[in-house]
Chain A
Amino acid sequence: MNTATVTSQASVSERAKAVAAALILGFVLIYTVGFAASANVHNAAHDTRHGLAFPCH
């Protein structure tokens, strides 16, 4: 029962799926909070955009 090999040797396709899921989640969130042009989104995210130095108005 070598758990180390069980956890570290994920198949390539499984890793590809995990990377795709992570990329989609990351891009959608960062685009929405940092870049979306909608005035409502901008106003809700305003202080965070400035605080974390996303380009803002």
Chain B
Amino acid sequence: MVARVLTVSILAGLLAGLLISALQHVTTTPLILKAETYEAALRVQGAPMQAAFTGEARIQLAHNDPKAGAEHTGEHEWKPQDGLQRTAFTSLVTIATAIGFAALLLAGMIAANEQIDQRTALAWAICGFLAFGLAPAMGLAPELPGSAAAELQQRQLWWLLTAVVTAGALFVFLRVEASWARALAVLALLLPHLIGVPHPAAPESKVPAEIAAHFAALSLAIQAALWLVTGFAVGVLWPWLARRSAATAVA
């Protein structure tokens, strides 16, 4: 069963990752490249808002524009070259993300002793998108480079907390009949948003709002597509491999 989990995760992730990489290449990535031109212009201006970034965040502002990055921060860290290499890395990382999501999806479904087929895997994938995509995005909207933001680690922590709590709450709400448990689940769904996300002191992004809004919408759609395709692929591949291993066991 472990072998099947790994095989299905990798195959489903590869399939979904390749498809979504192609989508990203024509949707979100062009907007990221566009936003980086504003970010580079900001850096050249002397960038008073860099004070809003701290620690890690400031160091990692130095990307994409090799001249500006090197001149203004003295950083000479490795980064993929624009063009084919950068696209290849983005695709590779997207595939790795899809494999990771496929594995988490399978972990949840097997732990819940769920029958894995196309319909159930898609239903779980929708919940995966709600928990790992939509809920964190309500506090931390998908951001373009150059957006002002609070310290990275606090946002990562809030993202993780929101994803895990939302996933757990959805599971309890959908699987437990008792009304007190369902009431608690609804409370848990709201909790991360009541606590609130660490926000920047003052929003000072130089990226035009139209581009940022378009990017946020595209990013959510791409995330939904990633989850749905991953879930569908898991739902197709898992029963197929199960039938195959059953057939060889019988033979």
Residues of A in contact with B (beta carbons under 8 Å apart) = 1, 3, 6-8, 10, 14-15, 17-19, 21-23, 25-30, 32-35, 37, 39-40, 42-57
Interface positions, chain B 164-203, Cβ under 8 Å from A, are none
- Interface 0/1 of B25-68, CB less than 8 Å to A: 00011001000000000000000000001001101110110000
Residues of B in contact with A (beta carbons under 8 Å apart) = 1-2, 4-6, 9, 24, 28-29, 32, 53, 56-57, 59-61, 63-64, 75, 77-80, 86, 89-90, 92-94, 96-97, 99-104, 106-107, 110-111, 113, 115, 133, 136-137, 140-145, 149, 152, 155-156, 159-160, 219-220, 222-223, 226, 242-243, 245-247, 249-250
Q: Contact: A39 with B103, CB < 8 Å?
A: no
Q: Contact: A57 with B100, CB < 8 Å?
A: no
- Provided the pairs A43-B77, A50-B28 are in contact, do residues A29 and B96 lie with their beta carbons within 8 angstroms? yes
A-B contact pairs, 13 of them (CB 8 A): A1-B250, A3-B243, A3-B247, A22-B104, A27-B104, A30-B104, A33-B100, A34-B97, A37-B56, A43-B78, A48-B94, A51-B28, A53-B137
- Provided the pairs A19-B110, A33-B96, A55-B152 are in contact, do residues A26 and B63 lie with their beta carbons within 8 angstroms? no
- Please name the residue on chain B nearest to A41 by beta carbon: B93
- Please name the residue on chain B nearest to A3 by beta carbon: B246
Residues on B with C-beta less than 8 A from A46 are 63-64, 79, 90, 145
Q: How far is the CA of A52 from the CA of B93 in the complex (A)?
A: 11
Q: Tell me how far the C-beta of B240 lies from the nearest C-beta in chain A, rounded to whole angstroms.
A: 11
* B contact face: mostly helix, strand, loop, or mixed: helix
Q: Contact: B136 with A29, CB < 8 Å?
A: no
- Please name the residue on chain A nearest to B216 by beta carbon: A53
Q: Tell me how far the C-beta of B140 lies from the nearest C-beta in chain A, rounded to whole angstroms.
A: 6
Q: B246's contact among A6, A34, A39, A55, by CB below 8 Å, is which? A: A6
Q: Contact: B249 with A22, CB < 8 Å?
A: no
Q: Contact: B60 with A42, CB < 8 Å?
A: yes
Q: Contact: B93 with A44, CB < 8 Å?
A: yes
Q: How far is the CA of A55 from the CA of B249 in the complex (A)?
A: 46
Q: A57's contact among B57, B78, B137, by CB below 8 Å, is which? A: B57
Q: A55's contact among B9, B53, B156, by CB below 8 Å, is which? A: B156
Q: How far is the CA of A14 from the CA of B4 in the complex (A)?
A: 12
Q: Contact: A21 with B2, CB < 8 Å?
A: yes
Residues on A with C-beta less than 8 A from B106 are 18, 22
Known: A47-B86, A48-B97, A53-B137. 18 other contacts (CB 8 A): A7-B245, A18-B106, A19-B107, A25-B9, A29-B100, A33-B97, A40-B79, A44-B79, A46-B145, A47-B24, A47-B28, A47-B90, A49-B93, A50-B144, A52-B226, A55-B156, A55-B159, A56-B143
Q: Tell me how far the C-beta of A54 lies from the nearest C-beta in chain B, rounded to whole angstroms.
A: 7
